[in-house]
Amino acid sequence: MSQVLNQDYIRTARAKGLSERTVIMRHAFRNTMIPLTTIIVVDLAGIIGGAIITERVFGWSGMGTLFNGAIGGFDLNLLMGVFFCTATLSVLANLVSDLLYSALDPRIRVGSK
């Protein structure tokens, strides 16, 4: 946020006479949310990928335990099913982040040429 507040467009918005709240919420906060959206999506994919370790440490039964059992039992159908579910969740998370990019950044428009 501190890097965004020193940008030229923030100074221009203040020079136009906009209130500090408008400058922060409309200009600075929206541009600050773009990298945070990327980090959240990458972390979500990391949580899905790290389910085996998390479930092993806390003793939970879930998709990670199911995946680990499929590896140990050479159950290829179950293994492919777990890969399909995790890949689908990752792709959906990336789709949501792309849609959030278009909502947060006015320079990004869906379907623009």
pLDDT in tens, 41-97: 888 878 877 888 888 888 888 888 888 889 899 999 999 988 898 888 888 888 988
Q: pTM of this prediction?
A: 0.67
Q: Specify the pLDDT at position 48.
A: 77
CA dihedral (32, 37, 39, 43) positive or negative = positive
Tokens of residue 63, six digits: 């998709």
* DSSP code, position 24: I
- From residue 102, alpha-carbon distances to 1, 51, 86, 90, 99 in Å are 20, 30, 25, 19, 5
Q: Length of the chain in residues, anyone?
A: 113
3-state secondary structure of 45: helix
